[in-house]
Structure 1
Amino acid sequence: MKLLHKNIFTELCKLFGLTVSCLLGLILIGRMLQLRTLFLSQNIGFINILQLFFFLTPFFLLLITPISTMLSVFLTFLRMSTDNELTALKANGVSLYRMLPAPIAFCTICTLFTFFISFWGLAWGMDMFKTKIYEFARSHSKFALQPGVFNKEFPGLTFYAHQVDNEKGELKFAFVRDESIKGTSVVVVAPEAQIVSSPETAEVNIIFNKGKIFRQSGEELNVLKFGKYAVRLDLGKLLGGFDFSEQKAKDMTFARLSEIRNDPAKAPTDSPRFYRKVDTEYFKRLTLPLGCIILGMFAIPIAYVFRGLKQQYGLVMSMGLFLVYYSMFSIGVSMGEGGSIPPIYGMWAPNILYILVAVIGMKYANEERTLPIVDLFVHVRDRLTRKKAAA
């Protein structure tokens, strides 16, 4: 039995690594195209995009680990069923229940790994992602002012400086023209200015010293003198509308979510919708990791009772059942955030349903009985095949 458990566990780990790698690869291709479009007008290289993707990996892993766990267990037991290994083990007195220690240990490890990502890894990845994207925008983007060159990267704003010291952030003979307000043109001119960065809010302030403001509206022109005048630039606009300042529930640590749930006054906003998002995200961080062990146990009887079907049909059925789970989960998230139902019901409903199906399916599989829905599927398939042959 030790050898059997070892072989099953090894195969599960191999399939898990392959499944995670394939899914991450597909996501990487899509995200690279998205980020490349985002930085199309910026001097951001391929390695920089890979760094950004690395920090988004915890977010992706939280979503794909449950399905990877389910597919690993399903494909392992489906292969054993197709190769008649399960039949041989049954003939030698090895019941399905005696094979469970290996998949249970595997699913438990995947669950603990996903809990680690859910509680700490996700928030760390999102924080690092925002920090890196700010650094790239600040140091690599075309916004870096060049002496004697007009900069129009920000919509409605034009910057110019005769002399630029990017290391010290000092500008000489600088001006900015603001045409963001329709029908009004504002020009700020000063003999010197300084660039001050704020990584926390992803803002850049250009502070003009002892200059003049020329404001023209129609035929009216106003001239004002000032000691200091600051022009605030949001790097999020430079990156296609990326919002650095907004605090989102999905970016918070689990401890922070718990703190807000216990004391809503600690939330950055008093919006009821934000609190619902916090509540929904809280239960999401709990239910998704548990989905690893639930879907893993669910996959065993599904693979066992599908032994009468071809492997490709079983795989399609398995993917369809996961889509049902994920659709229920997504609906629970939407309804929880919208206030239609309490988030705890929407988040736990898919897990409870699949636990019941897994328990019933395990009983049928151990007794070598086929679920009625599989019999119906086979009957419909055979009937369609006969009609096609007759035609």
Structure 2
Amino acid sequence: MKVIYKALTRELIQNIVLSIVFLNTVLIIEKLFKISKMFASVGIDLPNLFILLILLQPQLLIFTIPMALLLGVLLTYGRTQADNEMTILMASGMPYKKTFRPAIYIGIIAFFLTTVMSFYLAPLGVSLVREKIFSILAQRAPLGLEEGVFNQGFKDVTIFVKEKTDKFHLKEVVIFDERKNDTKTVIAKEGLIKKEKDNIILNLIDGKAYFNKGLSLNEINFKEYIFKLSPNIDPIAKKISELSLFDLISKIYNEASNKIDYKLELYKRVALPLLCVISVFLAPSLCVIVGKSGRIGGITVGLAIFAVYYIFMIYGANMAKAGKVSAETGSLMPVLVMSILAFVIYFRIKR
């Protein structure tokens, strides 16, 4: 028995790791597109890009671990059924349920690992990603301001530099600012780039500022003008995903305006670890359905199950935001659907 369990555990771990690598590679492509847009004007070097991808891993793993767990179980036990190993084990007196004992142990470990990531590591990782992006943009901002080019590296701000004497000193600077309702145009003879925490400071010298308010235009002459630029990183990390468990609970009780969003985030973090447990109990029944189709059948069934899960996850969240169901029901709807599916398939196969 120990030899059989050891062989199954080794194969399970290999398939789960390969599934995580494959799924993470697919999901990371979307993040790379967002990062490339964000650093389009200033660029990013490979070490910093690698650090960002590492910091994003906890946020991705809370989705990929449950999916990889189900795929790994289906691949392993689908292969044993295709090679008639499962038939041999049952013919030798080993119950079908006992063969899944290694998968249950790995599922319990995955549950606790996903719980830690969902409630602690993922919010921390998103927060560190935000800080890292601010730091990189602040460091590379001087590289993004090229002379003779309309620079649009910052949202709603266009900067034109006629001459750049060195990395930090500018001459003949024109800035068109649309960040507020009233547009603003600033013209200066000289400019100096500075860094201040999360902001990039343009210290403009000897120029004019034009403020457009409705149909009127106001002109101001200045000797020195401090112009702040804040990197916009909302597309890569939403603020609500940075909140810890205790912060989410506090927001739910103290802020009535976004209560639904906070509840959806909280129960989503609960639902994803539970999916690891459900996947392990759903897998034995699915392996019977897969039958002799082997690895291809396991991959197909596993991806189909998770497609159903994410459809119900999106549908439940939209129903909750529309006020048709409670936030608890909307968030836990995919888990309930998966649980019902597991019981229905199990009893149908048993009967």
Structure whose alpha-carbon radius of gyration is higher? 1
C-alpha RMSD over aligned residues: 3.4
Mapping for residues 1-391 of structure 1, pairs under 5 Å: 1-143=1-143, 149=147, 152-154=150-152, 155-159=157-161, 166=168, 176-180=173-177, 186-189=185-188, 195-199=194-198, 203-208=199-204, 211=206, 213-215=208-210, 224-225=220-221, 229-236=225-232, 242-243=233-234, 248-264=239-255, 272=257, 274-307=258-291, 312-363=296-347, 365=349, 367=350
Counterpart CA distance in 1 for 2:295 and 2:235 is 47
Counterpart CA distance in 1 for 2:236 and 2:68 is 34
The Cα shift of 1:133 comes to 1.4
- Pair 139,92 (structure 1): closer, same or farther in 2 beyond 3 Å: same
- Pair 127,245 (structure 1): closer, same or farther in 2 beyond 3 Å: same
Counterpart CA distance in 1 for 2:142 and 2:167 is 15
Counterpart CA distance in 2 for 1:80 and 1:162 is 67
Counterpart CA distance in 1 for 2:177 and 2:111 is 51
| CA displacement 1:2-24 (0-9 Å, x = unmatched) | 33322222221111111111122
| CA displacement 1:274-327 (0-9 Å, x = unmatched) | 321111000000001110110122011110233255653454233212211221
| CA displacement 1:44-64 (0-9 Å, x = unmatched) | 223332222221111111111
8 Å CA contact retained: 1:44, 1:141:
no
Q: What amino acid does structure 1 have at the position aligned with 2:279?
A: L
Q: What amino acid does structure 1 have at the position aligned with 2:303?
A: M
- Pair 221,247 (structure 1): closer, same or farther in 2 beyond 3 Å: closer
Match of 1:389 in 2: none
8 Å CA contact retained: 1:16, 1:69:
yes
Counterpart CA distance in 1 for 2:272 and 2:290 is 26
The Cα shift of 1:160 comes to 6.6
Which ranges in structure 2 are unaligned for 5 or more consecutive residues?
A: none
Q: What amino acid does structure 2 have at the position aligned with 1:153?
A: N
- Pair 143,342 (structure 1): closer, same or farther in 2 beyond 3 Å: farther
Normalising by structure 2, what TM-score? 0.82
- Secondary structure of the 2:126 match is helix
Counterpart CA distance in 1 for 2:104 and 2:183 is 68
Q: What amino acid does structure 2 have at the position aligned with 1:249?
A: I
Counterpart CA distance in 1 for 2:17 and 2:237 is 35
- Secondary structure of the 2:93 match is coil
The Cα shift of 1:92 comes to 2.5
The Cα shift of 1:125 comes to 1.4
Deviates more, 1:174-183 or 1:309-318: 174-183
8 Å CA contact retained: 2:78, 2:292:
no
Counterpart CA distance in 2 for 1:28 and 1:40 is 18
Which ranges in structure 1 are unaligned for 5 or more consecutive residues?
A: 237-241, 265-269, 370-391
The Cα shift of 1:30 comes to 4.8
